[in-house]
């Protein structure tokens, strides 16, 4: 289960809308709570993919390192990564799975015609062969 506070959710949706029609990406910061994850802050990050960003995203590892430090300084940690799917449903694609990592929650936001449509969260398994959905709670 991943629960995302309104302030964090608003940042994620705003970032996804601003990046449209390109894919956005970012980190979700928070704490582990009751066997699940509680996200208190979202941190927009740059899409480092050098090419068509309409259907691809890539995190910048140097920025990840920075975000990790910021999270630690606030007594939080990176709980997951979010990215958007412009004009496409919020599913976890084969490339999303192959280039993920089993340590985080992966939230995908569907943005259609520039507006937020729906979202899902996925938990890649250890070998990144499948990513079952996890319960996602957010306040709009």
Cβ-Cβ contacts under 8 Å for 22 (sequence gap 6 or more): 47, 53, 54, 86
- Both ends of the chain: CA-CA distance in Å? 17
Contacting other proteins within 34-53 (CB under 8 A): 49
88 binds other proteins (CB under 8 A): yes
Options 4, 11, 42, 81; binder of other proteins; rule CB under 8 A? 81
Phi (first) and psi of residue 83, to 5 degrees: -150, 165
117 binds other proteins (CB under 8 A): no
Let me know: does 60 contact 45? Beta carbons within 8 Å.
yes
Options 5, 83, 109, 138; binder of other proteins; rule CB under 8 A? 83
Output the CA angle 88-91-92, nearest 5 degrees: 125
Options 7, 18, 33, 93; binder of other proteins; rule CB under 8 A? 93
134 binds other proteins (CB under 8 A): no
Sign of CA dihedral 76, 65, 79, 11: positive
Q: Largest Cα–Cα distance in the chain? A: 41
Let me know: does 85 contact 111? Beta carbons within 8 Å.
yes
62 binds other proteins (CB under 8 A): yes
41 binds Zn ion (CB under 5 A): no
Among the residue ranges 8-16, 70-78, 113-121, 132-140, the one whose residues contact other proteins (CB under 8 A): 70-78
Give which of Zn ion, other proteins, none residue 77 binds (C-beta under 5 to 8 Å, depending on kind). Answer: other proteins
96 binds Zn ion (CB under 5 A): yes
95 binds other proteins (CB under 8 A): yes
Options 2, 8, 42, 78; binder of other proteins; rule CB under 8 A? 78
């Amino acid at each position: 289960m991943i629960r995302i506070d309104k302030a964090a959710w608003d940042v994620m949706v705003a970032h996804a809308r601003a990046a449209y029609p390109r894919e956005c990406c970012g980190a979700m910061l928070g704490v582990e709570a009751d066997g699940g994850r509680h996200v208190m802050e979202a941190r927009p990050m740059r899409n480092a993919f050098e090419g068509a960003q309409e259907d691809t995203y890539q995190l910048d590892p140097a920025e990840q390192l920075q975000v990790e430090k910021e999270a630690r300084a606030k007594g939080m940690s990176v709980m997951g990564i979010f990215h958007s799917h412009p004009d496409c449903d919020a599913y976890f694609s084969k490339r999303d799975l192959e280039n993920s990592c089993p340590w985080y929650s992966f939230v995908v936001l569907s943005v259609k015609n520039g507006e937020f449509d729906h979202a899902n969260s996925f938990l890649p398994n250890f070998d990144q062969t499948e990513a079952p959905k996890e319960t996602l709670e957010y306040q709009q």
